[in-house]
Amino acid sequence: MIRKLDELFLELKSRESKRLVVAFANDAHSIGAAGKAVGMGIVKATLVGDREQIKKACLQENIDINKFEIVHETEEIAATRKAVKLINEGKGDMLMKGLVSTDKYMRAILDKENGLMLHKAILSHVTVMENPNYHKLLIVGDVAIIPAPELKEKIAITNYLIQVAQALGINKPKVAVLAATEQVMPKMPACVDAALISKMADREQIKGAFVEGPLALDVAIDKESAEIKKLENEVVGDADCLVFPNIEAGNVFYKANTKLAGGEQGAIVVGAKVPVVLSSRGDSIKTKLYSIALAAISAK
């Protein structure tokens, strides 16, 4: 069981390297992160982009360009489509965003004929957080893609969190489906959805995890709060996974983890044929490395 984000690197070094494909890799940020990942021995990397711009970025970052396989393409959309094509041809195990804008990147992934979507799949964002005030990693979603998930989407998010947790070595993760209260309040949709998901897990319509909900955040992650409220089950006070009721709740928690608690995190988009890294230029190199490592350990 992986309990710290740095343990991802140790685990990956003992496995066969996965192939990372970077779409429109013309910037020092993505090349720097990919270069460090290759240097650590956790992935191999293909950069799709303008060869001359890639050379300049490698010089800027003091990276040996021979670490990479280069696929030359000067145009943003064409480079992104070519990166997706490499994945579909079996020449990559995960995809990462380079200098391409997020809308064009996602458009290439979502393309019905040539993209990476599985039939009837739902794209979702999974974050693995390391918080200095919690005793293990937290796997959470969705904080970035699905604004107001309905029941069907929350079920998909729950299953994705379970899959990522299992990839991290947690055989039967403990999933808290969050709401503002642990009481089942019929007028609060988040409570009703959480109760339904919990009951589905009881009847093994959702498999491979202990699932409880609705749970307020305090009882999900703090044993003392659960004891005071006289709650007893496998999840309370020891959750591995948090399913948020909406993007506002998830995104605030995500940013509070780093900005107020000094936490670290890695994140991937799931639901496509391969894990997708959707990093921001504002992300630290460490966050990008954790995201690459998370994609590698989640890749089939």
Are 207 and 113 in the same domain? no
DSSP 36-101: HHHHTTSEEEEEEE-HHHHHHHHHHHT--GGGSEEEE--SHHHHHHHHHHHHHTTS-SEEEE-SS-
pLDDT attached to residue 29: 87
Whether 54 and 135 map to the same domain: the answer is no
pTM of the model: 0.94
Note whether 201 and 250 are same-domain residues: yes
Average pLDDT over residues 194-201: 98
Both 103 and 150 in a single domain?
no
Of 118, 147, 171, which residue sits at a domain end? Answer: 118
The CB-side HSE value for 161 (13 A sphere, CA atoms) comes to: 31
What pLDDT does 279 receive? 79
| Whether residue 228 sits in one domain with residue 189 | yes
Q: For residues 143 and 138, what is the distance between their CA atoms, to the nearest angstrom?
A: 13
Which residues pair with residue 277 across a beta bridge? 96
Same domain, 211 and 253: yes
Is a pLDDT exceeding 80 seen at residue 280? no
- Checking if the pLDDT of 253 tops 80, the result is yes
Q: Is residue 19 part of a domain?
A: yes
- Look at residue 281 in the predicted model and tell me its pLDDT: 67
Average pLDDT over residues 243-252: 97
Q: 78 in a domain, yes or no? A: yes
Cα→Cα distances 209→245, 262, 298, Å: 19, 29, 17
Cα 98 to Cα 66, 95, 168, 206, 297: the distances in Å are: 19, 10, 26, 35, 20
Residue 157: band (very low, low, confident or very high) from pLDDT cuts 50, 70, 90: very high
Assigned domain for 292 exists: no
User: 261: helix, coil or strand?
Assistant: coil
Q: What is the CATH number of the domain that holds 46?
A: 3.40.50.10950
Give the domain CATH number at 200: 3.40.718.10
Question: How many structural domains compose the chain?
Answer: 2
Q: Does 159 have pLDDT greater than 70?
A: yes
The torsion angles phi and psi of 165, rounded to 5 degrees, stand at -60, -40
Range 31-56 average pLDDT:
95
Q: Residue 6: pLDDT above 90?
A: yes
Asked if the structure places residue 293 within a domain, the reply is no
Distances (CA, A) of 33 to 57, 158, 167: 12, 29, 22
User: Which range of residues forms the domain containing residue 234?
Assistant: 124-259
Identify the band that residue 109 occupies on the pLDDT scale cut at 50, 70 and 90.
Answer: very high
Q: Are residues 141 and 42 in the same domain?
A: no
Q: What six digits make up the tokens of 162?
A: 């379970």
Q: Is 285 helix (H, G, I), strand (E, B) or coil?
A: helix
If you search the block for the tokens 């796997």, which residue do you land on? 139
**Same structural domain for residues 112 and 151?**
no
15 & 37 share domain: yes
The dihedral built from the CA positions of residue 292, 293, 298 and 299, taken in this order, carries a sign that is positive
Is there a single domain that holds both residue 244 and residue 155? yes
Q: Is residue 107 part of a domain?
A: yes
Together in a domain, 185 and 221: yes
